[in-house]
Amino acid sequence: MNSSSILDFLKRSSFFLIITGVILVILAATDILGLGSYHLIVNPAWRYVLAGVATVFLILGIVMLLRESKQSSSPKGPILEQSTAQQLAKCGLVHAFRIPIDNPSRLNRVRELIEQEAKGNRKLRLAASSGFSYLNPIGPVWADAGLGKLITDGVVDMVVVLESPFSHFALTRALANGVEHHQWQEKQTPENLVTLLQYPNVSIRVTDMAVNCSLFLTSQAVYYDPYLWGLPHAGERTENKFWVLEFTRISDKDCDCYTLLEKHFEFLLRYSVPLEEVLHAPKKDSQLPRGVDFYRFLKENPVLALDRYEALTKEFRQNVRRLGGG
């Protein structure tokens, strides 16, 4: 029975008790005062008992009616908020950051999580659009939260899945923001990403699947940051204007949001390819350099190493113009 049904039941019950009490009072008073020519209750003692029962009914009905009236007039927001917060806590929610207002608090918390992971399993995972905050030398998590040094020193392993800059999702982002370039041109560079391939503890893969949220996972916590297309104000960008939620592992499988988001990451990872395959198209019968070898290949052949990337970037711009009516 939901809350509205309970209130309806209380209303009916309170009115029933009051009406019944009034009827009993009238019957008892009529018999007690001798106002009626016909007495339904002959024994006077029972008439007094009836009057007592009627009084109890009236008092109960009035109390229930007053309580129901107080509940219906009180604000429901805090009650619902408390209930929602309790449900989210049962699902592992430990922090919620309103972006961009809570950016400093979020960054401090990310720093704590990274430091904890560096002392534990030392395994980090990231699914993102460009990965700027975590992978760019001037990104806040890389620079300010200390992730960069832990990676370059080999302290932590990092598995990354990035949204392909040529995917339908990337096209959607460009259209929503009214631009013709993709996210790697704005927030990330392929040269910077290839630089990370020189570290054996870093794996960077790219997926054409919709990366509709950023996920940053440690062994015990995950950050969920959705990507939205609605522009809050004219001239602003779509992303980083919502809530970032932190979930922790819990034992209740029916409520474990961490595991659900972890499986989402694993799905994206399964349907991804190495970064090198997005950047370079080797000639027939020649092998594609991998990892640190591709890093060296880019150093020696900066134009050739990014031939596929450059060709797809031109095609992307044409697609945006076509879809945008330009």
Query: Is the residue at 316 inside a domain?
Result: no
The span from the CA of 100 to the CA of 80, in Å, is 25
Instruction: Give the residue numbers spanning the domain of 262.
Output: 94-273
pLDDT exceeds 60 at position 3:
no
Query: Is the residue at 88 inside a domain?
Result: no
Report residue 57's pLDDT band, with 50, 70 and 90 as the boundaries.
low
pLDDT (0 to 100) of residue 315: 94
Whether residue 38 is found in the same domain as residue 128: no
Query: Is the residue at 297 inside a domain?
Result: no
> Residue 283: how many CB atoms within 10 A of its CB?
7
- The answer to whether the Cα torsion of 104, 109, 110, 111 is positive or negative is positive
Report residue 18's pLDDT band, with 50, 70 and 90 as the boundaries.
low
The span from the CA of 194 to the CA of 204, in Å, is 9
Q: What is the mean pLDDT of the chain?
A: 83
pLDDT (0 to 100) of residue 75: 47
**Token duo for residue 35:** 């106002």
Whether residue 122 is found in the same domain as residue 170: yes
Q: C-alpha angle with apex 261: 242 to 240, nearest 5 degrees? A: 20
Query: Is the residue at 82 inside a domain?
Result: no
4: three-class secondary structure by DSSP: helix
Whether residue 62 is found in the same domain as residue 117: no
Whether residue 244 is found in the same domain as residue 144: yes
Report residue 323's pLDDT band, with 50, 70 and 90 as the boundaries.
confident
pLDDT (0 to 100) of residue 67: 67
Whether residue 13 is found in the same domain as residue 145: no
What one-character-per-residue DSSP string does 164-187 give?
-TTSHHHHHHHHHHT-SS-HHHHH
Q: For the chain, how many structural domains are there in total?
A: 2
- The answer to whether the Cα torsion of 243, 244, 249, 254 is positive or negative is positive
Query: Is the residue at 172 inside a domain?
Result: yes
Q: What count of Cα atoms within 13 Å lies in the side-chain half-sphere of residue 117?
A: 26
Whether residue 145 is found in the same domain as residue 40: no
Query: Is the residue at 319 inside a domain?
Result: no
Q: pTM of the predicted model, to two decimals?
A: 0.73
Q: Using one digit for the tens of pLDDT, what is the confidence trace for 175-206?
A: 888 889 998 988 889 999 999 999 999 999 99
Whether residue 130 is found in the same domain as residue 247: yes
Q: Using one digit for the tens of pLDDT, what is the confidence trace for 24-55?
A: 656 666 654 454 444 444 556 655 665 666 66
Query: Is the residue at 321 inside a domain?
Result: no
Whether residue 100 is found in the same domain as residue 223: yes
Whether residue 170 is found in the same domain as residue 266: yes
Domain with residue 165: its CATH number is: 3.30.870.10
Query: Is the residue at 294 inside a domain?
Result: no
Helix (H) or strand (E) holding 89: helix 77-90
Among 226, 251, 273, the domain boundary falls at 273
